[in-house]
């Protein structure tokens, strides 16, 4: 018997309808994937922060930042990326 499963993606979650609960392997893959995505986001923040720290105060002022705002700016940048 061939059964079809439909699903909808809501945020980062996949909602299954008419299907069994995901197996242990699927859940494990989901956890690993989630961790992988978080590591990539952390690396993007670190790269942005390093680039901003490399700018002199005049350049930072031109883009509307001060040295005390660099950490916040690196987090804002990563959360505004497509796919985030």
CB 74 within 8 A of CB 52: yes
CB 43 within 8 A of CB 51: no
pLDDT of residue 33 exceeding 70, the answer is yes
The domain ranges of the chain are 6-79
The Cα 84–Cα 40 span in angstroms is: 11
Q: What does the mean pLDDT of the chain come to?
A: 79
Using the 8-state DSSP alphabet, how is residue 69 labeled?
G
pLDDT digits (tens, 9 = 90+) for 37-66: 999 999 999 999 999 999 999 999 999 999
Instruction: Kindly state the average pLDDT of the residues 13-30.
Output: 75
């Amino acid at each position: 018997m061939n059964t079809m499963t439909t699903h909808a993606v809501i945020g980062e979650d996949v909602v299954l309808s008419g299907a069994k609960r995901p197996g242990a392997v699927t859940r494990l893959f989901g956890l690993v994937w989630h961790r992988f995505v978080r590591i990539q986001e952390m690396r993007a923040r670190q790269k942005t922060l390093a680039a901003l720290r490399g700018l002199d105060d005049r350049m930072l002022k031109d883009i509307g930042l001060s040295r005390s705002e660099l950490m916040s700016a690196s987090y804002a940048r990563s959360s505004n990326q497509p796919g985030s």
